[in-house]
């Protein structure tokens, strides 16, 4: 007979993307609430499951690091993670980055680093891509130029966007962020990147 611990591990594994909330696990009535929380704590300490944040658990290893990151931090996937999702780069990043309006954070979960980058009022400009919330291609470019340490090397970034061929609407969107958030005297880097992407530089 399968014991409660194994049923709990299986319930998390059977959840969408291998991630389950405490509320969902409670609804299965596998045991009382005290035993459920105790068992989850034990499973988390042993590494059989991963506690993404309070009340959210993932199977180990993580099935989808992008989904896990969005369950861990409130915000949208950005920087190198967004470049990968938009197929602007081919290499899956080791660090999955979520742009948030709140505070920055970093935690290691299984084989990945899950990072939150606080951009406060700049944490805008995103869309749904499948079951993920991701910065638009235009906003990804802005974010990568604004905080280059979370991006790929600048030359590769420009090449990727030149190949991607942003349409006029996307270029207008990109520059709307520049005008909104960057003082005129500090726009040289953004102007130069836009010209290079358009083939003018």
Would you say residue 1 has pLDDT above 50?
A: no
User: Angle at Cα 3 formed by Cα 2 and Cα 9, nearest 5°?
Assistant: 90
For the question of whether the overall pTM of this predicted structure is more than 0.85, the answer is yes
Domain with CATH 1.10.10 in the chain: 4-59
| Cβ proximity of 4 and 35 under 8 Å | yes
Would you say residue 100 has pLDDT above 70?
A: yes
**How far apart, in Å, do the first and last CA atoms of the chain sit?**
69
Give per-residue burial for 130-141: e unless 16+ CB within 10 Å, then b. eebbbbbbbbbb
Query: H or E element: which one contains 157?
Result: helix 154-164
Express each pLDDT in 38-80 by its tens digit. 999 999 999 999 999 999 999 999 999 999 999 999 999 999 9
User: Angle at Cα 118 formed by Cα 101 and Cα 165, nearest 5°?
Assistant: 90
| Cβ proximity of 112 and 62 under 8 Å | yes
User: What fold characterizes domain 4-59?
Assistant: Arc Repressor Mutant, subunit A (1.10.10)
Express each pLDDT in 171-194 by its tens digit. 999 999 999 999 999 999 999 999
């Amino acid at each position: 007979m399968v014991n409660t611990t194994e049923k709990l591990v299986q319930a998390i594994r059977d959840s969408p993307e291998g991630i389950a909330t405490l509320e969902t696990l409670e609804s299965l009535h596998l045991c009382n609430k005290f035993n459920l929380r105790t068992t989850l704590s034990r499973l988390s300490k042993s590494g059989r499951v991963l506690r993404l944040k309070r009340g959210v658990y993932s199977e180990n290893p993580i099935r989808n690091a992008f989904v896990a990151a969005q369950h861990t931090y409130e915000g949208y996937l950005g920087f190198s993670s967004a470049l990968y999702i938009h197929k602007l780069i081919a290499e899956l990043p080791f660090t999955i980055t979520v742009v948030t309006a709140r505070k920055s954070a970093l935690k290691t979960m299984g084989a990945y680093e899950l990072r939150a980058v606080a951009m406060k009022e700049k944490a805008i400009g995103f869309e749904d891509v499948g079951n993920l919330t991701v910065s638009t291609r235009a906003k990804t470019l802005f974010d990568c130029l604004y905080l280059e340490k979370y991006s790929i090397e600048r030359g590769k970034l420009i090449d990727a966007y030149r190949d991607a061929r942003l349409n006029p609407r996307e270029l207008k969107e990109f520059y709307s962020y520049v005008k909104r958030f960057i003082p005129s005297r500090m726009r040289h880097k953004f102007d130069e990147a836009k010209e290079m992407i358009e083939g003018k530089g």
